[in-house]
A and B are shown apart, each in its own frame.
Chain A
Amino acid sequence: MSEPIPADNPLVLGAFRFESRLFLGTGKYATYPQMRDALDLSGCECVTVAVRRIPQNEAPGARFLDYLDLDRYTILPNTAGCFDAESALRTARLAREMLNTDLIKLEVLGDQKTLLPEPLDTLRATEILVQEGFTVLVYTSDDVMLAKRLQEAGATAVMPAGSPIGSGQGILNPLNLRLIIEQATVPIIVDAGVGQASDVAIAMELGADGVLMNTAVAAAKDPLRMARAVNFACRAGRDSFLAGRMDKRMYAMASSPPHGVIGAGA
Protein backbone atom coordinates (compact mmCIF):
# COMPACT_ATOMS: atom_id res chain seq x y z
CA MET A 1 0.00 0.00 0.00
CA SER A 2 1.53 3.31 -1.06
CA GLU A 3 1.66 6.33 1.20
CA PRO A 4 -1.43 8.50 0.72
CA ILE A 5 -0.98 11.99 -0.72
CA PRO A 6 -2.70 14.57 1.50
CA ALA A 7 -5.79 16.07 -0.13
CA ASP A 8 -5.55 19.63 -1.44
CA ASN A 9 -7.52 22.37 0.31
CA PRO A 10 -10.57 23.69 -1.56
CA LEU A 11 -10.35 27.14 -3.11
CA VAL A 12 -12.45 29.45 -0.95
CA LEU A 13 -13.96 32.60 -2.49
CA GLY A 14 -16.23 34.33 0.01
CA ALA A 15 -19.02 31.92 0.82
CA PHE A 16 -18.05 29.57 -2.03
CA ARG A 17 -15.74 26.55 -1.95
CA PHE A 18 -14.41 24.89 -5.06
CA GLU A 19 -12.54 21.60 -5.49
CA SER A 20 -11.75 22.47 -9.11
CA ARG A 21 -9.45 25.43 -9.58
CA LEU A 22 -10.43 25.93 -13.19
CA PHE A 23 -12.99 28.57 -14.18
CA LEU A 24 -14.47 28.56 -17.66
CA GLY A 25 -16.10 31.26 -19.74
CA THR A 26 -19.27 30.50 -21.69
CA GLY A 27 -18.68 32.60 -24.83
CA LYS A 28 -17.65 31.84 -28.40
CA TYR A 29 -18.60 28.16 -28.59
CA ALA A 30 -19.90 26.99 -31.97
CA THR A 31 -23.12 25.72 -30.37
CA TYR A 32 -24.73 25.62 -26.94
CA PRO A 33 -24.42 21.80 -26.76
CA GLN A 34 -20.70 22.19 -27.41
CA MET A 35 -20.47 24.71 -24.58
CA ARG A 36 -22.34 22.35 -22.25
CA ASP A 37 -20.03 19.44 -23.10
CA ALA A 38 -16.87 21.56 -22.81
CA LEU A 39 -17.88 22.75 -19.34
CA ASP A 40 -18.54 19.15 -18.36
CA LEU A 41 -15.17 17.86 -19.61
CA SER A 42 -13.23 20.73 -18.04
CA GLY A 43 -14.34 19.64 -14.58
CA CYS A 44 -14.97 23.27 -13.63
CA GLU A 45 -17.47 24.14 -10.90
CA CYS A 46 -17.79 27.85 -11.58
CA VAL A 47 -18.52 29.50 -14.94
CA THR A 48 -18.59 33.13 -15.91
CA VAL A 49 -21.38 34.73 -17.93
CA ALA A 50 -21.96 38.17 -19.43
CA VAL A 51 -24.88 40.59 -19.06
CA ARG A 52 -26.36 42.08 -22.24
CA ARG A 53 -29.43 43.96 -23.46
CA ILE A 54 -32.37 41.83 -24.58
CA PRO A 55 -32.85 42.41 -28.32
CA GLN A 56 -36.29 43.38 -29.57
CA ASN A 57 -38.07 41.05 -31.99
CA GLU A 58 -35.69 38.18 -31.43
CA ALA A 59 -36.28 35.05 -33.48
CA PRO A 60 -37.20 32.10 -31.27
CA GLY A 61 -34.45 29.52 -30.92
CA ALA A 62 -32.15 27.75 -28.50
CA ARG A 63 -31.67 29.66 -25.28
CA PHE A 64 -28.35 30.01 -23.51
CA LEU A 65 -29.66 29.28 -20.02
CA ASP A 66 -31.24 26.01 -21.20
CA TYR A 67 -27.70 24.67 -21.67
CA LEU A 68 -26.29 25.82 -18.35
CA ASP A 69 -26.94 23.52 -15.38
CA LEU A 70 -27.56 26.03 -12.60
CA ASP A 71 -27.62 23.25 -9.99
CA ARG A 72 -24.18 22.08 -11.00
CA TYR A 73 -22.28 25.32 -11.63
CA THR A 74 -21.78 28.43 -9.56
CA ILE A 75 -22.53 31.34 -11.87
CA LEU A 76 -20.02 34.16 -11.84
CA PRO A 77 -21.51 37.13 -13.72
CA ASN A 78 -19.01 39.53 -15.24
CA THR A 79 -18.89 43.15 -16.32
CA ALA A 80 -17.07 42.33 -19.56
CA GLY A 81 -17.34 45.05 -22.15
CA CYS A 82 -17.61 47.92 -19.65
CA PHE A 83 -15.20 50.75 -20.34
CA ASP A 84 -15.84 52.88 -17.26
CA ALA A 85 -16.50 52.28 -13.58
CA GLU A 86 -20.09 53.53 -13.77
CA SER A 87 -21.30 51.03 -16.39
CA ALA A 88 -19.47 48.23 -14.58
CA LEU A 89 -21.21 49.16 -11.31
CA ARG A 90 -24.61 49.25 -13.02
CA THR A 91 -23.94 45.89 -14.69
CA ALA A 92 -22.89 44.35 -11.36
CA ARG A 93 -26.07 45.56 -9.67
CA LEU A 94 -28.23 44.19 -12.49
CA ALA A 95 -26.43 40.85 -12.27
CA ARG A 96 -27.02 40.69 -8.53
CA GLU A 97 -30.74 41.29 -9.04
CA MET A 98 -30.88 38.73 -11.81
CA LEU A 99 -28.99 35.90 -10.11
CA ASN A 100 -29.47 36.73 -6.46
CA THR A 101 -25.71 36.43 -6.01
CA ASP A 102 -23.08 38.76 -4.61
CA LEU A 103 -20.39 37.20 -6.80
CA ILE A 104 -19.06 39.48 -9.51
CA LYS A 105 -16.11 39.32 -11.87
CA LEU A 106 -15.29 42.97 -12.21
CA GLU A 107 -13.79 44.04 -15.51
CA VAL A 108 -13.27 47.68 -16.39
CA LEU A 109 -11.48 47.95 -19.70
CA GLY A 110 -9.41 50.86 -20.91
CA ASP A 111 -9.12 50.39 -24.61
CA GLN A 112 -10.97 48.52 -27.41
CA LYS A 113 -7.86 47.34 -29.17
CA THR A 114 -5.95 45.81 -26.26
CA LEU A 115 -8.86 45.21 -23.85
CA LEU A 116 -6.36 45.95 -21.10
CA PRO A 117 -7.92 46.92 -17.78
CA GLU A 118 -8.26 50.59 -16.84
CA PRO A 119 -6.44 50.64 -13.49
CA LEU A 120 -7.96 53.69 -11.79
CA ASP A 121 -11.58 52.90 -12.65
CA THR A 122 -10.95 49.25 -11.74
CA LEU A 123 -9.74 50.27 -8.27
CA ARG A 124 -12.57 52.75 -7.78
CA ALA A 125 -15.23 50.25 -8.86
CA THR A 126 -13.70 47.61 -6.57
CA GLU A 127 -13.95 49.94 -3.57
CA ILE A 128 -17.59 50.76 -4.29
CA LEU A 129 -18.69 47.18 -4.95
CA VAL A 130 -16.96 45.93 -1.80
CA GLN A 131 -18.79 48.63 0.13
CA GLU A 132 -22.06 47.44 -1.43
CA GLY A 133 -21.42 43.90 -0.17
CA PHE A 134 -20.29 42.24 -3.39
CA THR A 135 -17.81 39.36 -3.45
CA VAL A 136 -15.47 40.99 -5.94
CA LEU A 137 -13.17 38.96 -8.18
CA VAL A 138 -11.31 41.67 -9.99
CA TYR A 139 -9.65 41.43 -13.38
CA THR A 140 -6.41 43.38 -13.59
CA SER A 141 -3.15 43.51 -15.52
CA ASP A 142 -0.03 41.83 -14.14
CA ASP A 143 0.94 45.06 -12.37
CA VAL A 144 2.27 44.05 -8.96
CA MET A 145 1.42 47.22 -7.05
CA LEU A 146 -2.10 47.50 -8.47
CA ALA A 147 -2.77 43.89 -7.47
CA LYS A 148 -1.73 44.88 -3.95
CA ARG A 149 -4.01 47.92 -3.95
CA LEU A 150 -6.94 45.83 -5.15
CA GLN A 151 -6.53 43.29 -2.37
CA GLU A 152 -6.25 46.12 0.14
CA ALA A 153 -9.47 47.57 -1.28
CA GLY A 154 -11.24 44.37 -0.22
CA ALA A 155 -11.29 42.26 -3.36
CA THR A 156 -12.04 38.61 -2.57
CA ALA A 157 -9.72 37.50 -5.37
CA VAL A 158 -7.36 39.30 -7.72
CA MET A 159 -7.31 38.08 -11.31
CA PRO A 160 -4.22 39.16 -13.21
CA ALA A 161 -4.07 38.65 -16.97
CA GLY A 162 -1.38 36.36 -18.33
CA SER A 163 -1.59 38.33 -21.59
CA PRO A 164 -4.36 40.30 -23.32
CA ILE A 165 -7.90 38.85 -23.37
CA GLY A 166 -8.40 36.32 -26.15
CA SER A 167 -4.81 36.67 -27.37
CA GLY A 168 -3.73 33.14 -26.46
CA GLN A 169 -0.20 34.36 -25.79
CA GLY A 170 0.11 32.57 -22.46
CA ILE A 171 1.88 33.88 -19.35
CA LEU A 172 4.04 36.68 -20.73
CA ASN A 173 5.49 37.90 -17.45
CA PRO A 174 5.97 34.98 -15.06
CA LEU A 175 8.12 37.16 -12.81
CA ASN A 176 5.31 39.66 -12.18
CA LEU A 177 2.89 36.83 -11.61
CA ARG A 178 5.27 35.32 -9.03
CA LEU A 179 5.60 38.68 -7.28
CA ILE A 180 1.81 39.11 -7.21
CA ILE A 181 1.41 35.60 -5.78
CA GLU A 182 4.17 36.06 -3.16
CA GLN A 183 2.57 39.17 -1.68
CA ALA A 184 -1.02 37.93 -1.97
CA THR A 185 -3.31 37.71 1.02
CA VAL A 186 -6.24 36.72 -1.21
CA PRO A 187 -6.52 34.04 -3.92
CA ILE A 188 -4.84 34.91 -7.22
CA ILE A 189 -6.65 33.58 -10.29
CA VAL A 190 -4.96 34.00 -13.65
CA ASP A 191 -7.59 35.37 -16.02
CA ALA A 192 -7.06 35.92 -19.72
CA GLY A 193 -4.32 35.12 -22.19
CA VAL A 194 -4.14 31.36 -21.67
CA GLY A 195 -3.70 29.72 -25.09
CA GLN A 196 -3.30 26.02 -24.40
CA ALA A 197 -3.15 23.45 -21.63
CA SER A 198 0.52 24.02 -20.83
CA ASP A 199 -0.20 27.68 -20.06
CA VAL A 200 -2.67 26.54 -17.41
CA ALA A 201 -0.07 24.22 -15.91
CA ILE A 202 2.54 27.00 -15.91
CA ALA A 203 0.18 29.40 -14.12
CA MET A 204 -0.62 26.79 -11.49
CA GLU A 205 3.05 25.81 -11.07
CA LEU A 206 3.84 29.47 -10.42
CA GLY A 207 1.46 29.20 -7.47
CA ALA A 208 -1.74 30.68 -8.86
CA ASP A 209 -4.81 29.58 -6.92
CA GLY A 210 -6.83 29.11 -10.09
CA VAL A 211 -7.11 29.86 -13.79
CA LEU A 212 -10.03 31.35 -15.72
CA MET A 213 -10.16 30.79 -19.45
CA ASN A 214 -12.56 30.87 -22.38
CA THR A 215 -11.13 31.36 -25.87
CA ALA A 216 -8.39 28.73 -25.54
CA VAL A 217 -11.12 26.11 -25.20
CA ALA A 218 -13.84 27.61 -27.40
CA ALA A 219 -11.49 28.46 -30.28
CA ALA A 220 -9.46 25.24 -30.19
CA LYS A 221 -9.81 23.05 -33.29
CA ASP A 222 -11.38 20.45 -31.00
CA PRO A 223 -12.87 22.35 -28.05
CA LEU A 224 -13.95 19.22 -26.16
CA ARG A 225 -10.51 17.65 -26.27
CA MET A 226 -8.98 20.96 -25.16
CA ALA A 227 -11.50 21.18 -22.32
CA ARG A 228 -10.31 17.81 -21.08
CA ALA A 229 -6.67 18.82 -21.58
CA VAL A 230 -7.00 21.96 -19.44
CA ASN A 231 -8.78 19.92 -16.77
CA PHE A 232 -5.70 17.66 -16.54
CA ALA A 233 -3.30 20.60 -16.85
CA CYS A 234 -4.88 22.51 -14.00
CA ARG A 235 -4.68 19.54 -11.66
CA ALA A 236 -1.19 18.61 -12.85
CA GLY A 237 0.08 22.16 -12.39
CA ARG A 238 -1.43 22.40 -8.93
CA ASP A 239 0.10 19.09 -7.85
CA SER A 240 3.44 20.12 -9.32
CA PHE A 241 3.33 23.37 -7.33
CA LEU A 242 2.38 21.58 -4.10
CA ALA A 243 5.04 18.94 -4.68
CA GLY A 244 7.75 21.59 -4.99
CA ARG A 245 10.25 21.43 -7.80
CA MET A 246 13.87 20.28 -7.50
CA ASP A 247 16.71 22.75 -7.50
CA LYS A 248 18.23 23.55 -10.87
CA ARG A 249 21.89 22.55 -11.42
CA MET A 250 24.51 23.74 -13.81
CA TYR A 251 25.81 20.24 -14.65
CA ALA A 252 24.37 16.82 -15.22
CA MET A 253 23.84 14.36 -12.40
CA ALA A 254 23.27 10.71 -13.34
CA SER A 255 20.21 9.00 -11.95
CA SER A 256 21.78 5.54 -12.27
CA PRO A 257 24.58 4.45 -9.90
CA PRO A 258 28.01 5.45 -11.26
CA HIS A 259 29.61 2.22 -9.94
CA GLY A 260 29.29 -1.31 -11.21
CA VAL A 261 29.08 -0.55 -14.92
CA ILE A 262 30.33 -3.62 -16.86
CA GLY A 263 33.71 -3.61 -18.51
CA ALA A 264 35.16 -1.18 -16.01
CA GLY A 265 38.50 -1.79 -14.25
CA ALA A 266 41.26 -4.39 -14.91
Chain B
Amino acid sequence: MVGVEDSHLAGDQTVRINGEIQPWRPHWTVWELLQELEADGPGVAVERNFAVVRRQNLATTPIEPGDTLEVVRLVGGG
Protein backbone atom coordinates (compact mmCIF):
# COMPACT_ATOMS: atom_id res chain seq x y z
CA MET B 1 0.00 0.00 0.00
CA VAL B 2 1.37 3.42 -0.92
CA GLY B 3 2.44 5.79 1.85
CA VAL B 4 2.15 3.32 4.72
CA GLU B 5 4.77 3.94 7.41
CA ASP B 6 6.32 1.20 9.51
CA SER B 7 4.39 2.40 12.53
CA HIS B 8 1.07 1.87 10.80
CA LEU B 9 -0.48 -1.51 10.26
CA ALA B 10 -1.25 -2.48 6.68
CA GLY B 11 -4.73 -1.29 5.83
CA ASP B 12 -4.60 1.34 8.55
CA GLN B 13 -6.75 4.28 7.42
CA THR B 14 -5.19 6.90 9.65
CA VAL B 15 -2.76 9.77 9.37
CA ARG B 16 -0.53 11.39 11.95
CA ILE B 17 -0.91 15.19 12.08
CA ASN B 18 1.36 17.10 14.45
CA GLY B 19 1.87 13.92 16.43
CA GLU B 20 -1.81 13.00 16.73
CA ILE B 21 -3.37 10.01 14.99
CA GLN B 22 -6.47 10.97 13.02
CA PRO B 23 -8.80 9.15 10.62
CA TRP B 24 -7.83 9.51 6.97
CA ARG B 25 -10.34 10.89 4.47
CA PRO B 26 -10.48 10.13 0.74
CA HIS B 27 -9.45 12.93 -1.68
CA TRP B 28 -7.83 14.90 1.13
CA THR B 29 -5.16 17.47 0.24
CA VAL B 30 -2.63 19.40 2.28
CA TRP B 31 -4.33 22.63 1.27
CA GLU B 32 -7.65 21.42 2.69
CA LEU B 33 -5.93 20.50 5.93
CA LEU B 34 -4.50 24.01 6.20
CA GLN B 35 -7.96 25.50 5.75
CA GLU B 36 -9.33 23.18 8.43
CA LEU B 37 -6.61 24.40 10.78
CA GLU B 38 -7.32 28.02 9.73
CA ALA B 39 -3.66 28.13 8.80
CA ASP B 40 -3.89 29.01 5.12
CA GLY B 41 -2.22 32.42 5.53
CA PRO B 42 1.46 33.37 5.38
CA GLY B 43 3.95 32.24 7.97
CA VAL B 44 2.94 28.58 7.76
CA ALA B 45 4.84 25.56 6.42
CA VAL B 46 4.04 21.88 6.00
CA GLU B 47 6.20 18.79 6.06
CA ARG B 48 4.84 15.55 4.64
CA ASN B 49 6.70 12.36 5.43
CA PHE B 50 9.78 14.31 6.52
CA ALA B 51 10.02 16.44 3.36
CA VAL B 52 8.92 20.07 3.05
CA VAL B 53 5.89 20.62 0.82
CA ARG B 54 6.71 23.61 -1.38
CA ARG B 55 4.19 26.44 -1.27
CA GLN B 56 3.24 26.02 -4.93
CA ASN B 57 2.48 22.32 -4.34
CA LEU B 58 0.21 22.67 -1.29
CA ALA B 59 -3.04 22.44 -3.27
CA THR B 60 -2.01 19.43 -5.32
CA THR B 61 -0.31 17.37 -2.63
CA PRO B 62 -2.60 14.56 -1.51
CA ILE B 63 -2.81 13.21 2.02
CA GLU B 64 -2.57 9.44 1.87
CA PRO B 65 -3.21 6.77 4.52
CA GLY B 66 -0.23 6.41 6.80
CA ASP B 67 1.12 9.90 6.08
CA THR B 68 2.98 11.82 8.75
CA LEU B 69 2.35 15.57 8.56
CA GLU B 70 3.82 18.47 10.47
CA VAL B 71 2.07 21.84 10.17
CA VAL B 72 4.07 24.65 11.74
CA ARG B 73 4.12 28.41 12.19
CA LEU B 74 6.28 31.07 13.81
CA VAL B 75 5.96 31.76 17.52
CA GLY B 76 7.83 33.96 19.95
CA GLY B 77 11.10 32.46 21.07
CA GLY B 78 14.73 33.15 21.77
Are B45 and A50 within 8 A (Cβ)?
no
Q: How far is the CB of A55 from chain B (nearest CB, A)?
A: 8
Main secondary structure of the interface of A (DSSP, over half): mixed
Are A54 and B74 within 8 A (Cβ)?
no
Are A64 and B74 within 8 A (Cβ)?
yes
Task: Say if the beta carbon of A233 comes within 8 Å of chain B.
Answer: no
Cβ proximity bits B4-38 to A, threshold 8 Å, 1 near / 0 not:
00000000000001111000000000000000011
Are B73 and A26 within 8 A (Cβ)?
no
Q: How far is the CB of B42 from chain A (nearest CB, A)?
A: 8
Interface centre among A49, A75, A165, A214 (most CB of B within 10 A): A49
Residues on B with C-beta less than 8 A from A27 are 75-78
Decide yes or no: A90 and B50 within 8 Å by CB, A54-B39, A56-B20, A97-B45 being known contacts: yes
Q: What's the tally of chain B residues with a CB closer than 8 Å to chain A? A: 27
Given contacts A49-B75, A64-B75, A215-B78, 20 further A-B contacts (CB under 8 A): A25-B77, A27-B75, A50-B74, A50-B77, A51-B74, A52-B77, A54-B39, A54-B44, A55-B18, A58-B38, A64-B76, A65-B74, A77-B74, A97-B55, A98-B43, A98-B72, A98-B73, A212-B78, A213-B78, A214-B77
25 contacting pairs across A/B (C-beta < 8 A): A27-B78, A28-B78, A49-B75, A50-B78, A52-B72, A52-B75, A52-B77, A53-B18, A53-B70, A54-B72, A54-B73, A56-B18, A64-B74, A64-B76, A65-B74, A80-B77, A80-B78, A97-B53, A97-B54, A97-B55, A98-B44, A98-B73, A98-B74, A99-B43, A165-B78
- For the complex of A and B, the 4 pairs showing the least CB-CB separation, nearest first, are A25-B78, A50-B77, A214-B78, A26-B76
